[in-house]
Amino acid sequence: MGLIGGGVEPEDGDAEADRDGTLRCAAARELREEAGIAVDPARLVPIFEGMGRTRWAVTFRVEGALPAPVLGDNEEGEVRWVSPAEVCAGSFADYNRALFAALQRDATA
């Protein structure tokens, strides 16, 4: 169990030439593939970076309203709402705990 995620694919762009744009495109693609939500990559704002299980990871939030995810089974598994505790017990537990701690620090700052 974890948050929507994945890696950069060639169609996302050249991360060496445009890291920010490429990561936004990759995040938008993963959001579309895994939750059925189409969003303009320009609406994605990076909110946290850290070491994932095997590589550096970046988490984004979407600016503004977005449609509800397509809940149910898809090619990646089951899409459903879960609690932060469940996400922090999943496959990217260390990263997700660090993400939530950073978000909590930012909210109280």
pLDDT at 52: 82
With cut-offs at 50, 70 and 90, classify the pLDDT of residue 12. very high
Would you give the distance in Å from CA 12 to the centre of its chain?
Answer: 15
Residues contacting residue 59 through CB under 8 Å, at least 6 positions apart = 3, 46, 47, 48, 49, 99
Q: What does the pLDDT look like over 28-55, one tens digit per residue?
A: 999 998 888 899 999 999 999 998 888 8
Please state, in angstroms and rounded to a whole number, the distance separating the CA atoms of residues 5 and 28. 10
Q: What does the pLDDT look like over 61-81, one tens digit per residue?
A: 999 988 777 777 876 678 888
Please state, in angstroms and rounded to a whole number, the distance separating the CA atoms of residues 67 and 69. 6
Q: What angle do CA 35, 36, 40 make, to 5 degrees?
A: 105
Please state, in angstroms and rounded to a whole number, the distance separating the CA atoms of residues 65 and 6. 23
Residue 54 is classified by DSSP as: S
Please state, in angstroms and rounded to a whole number, the distance separating the CA atoms of residues 25 and 36. 15
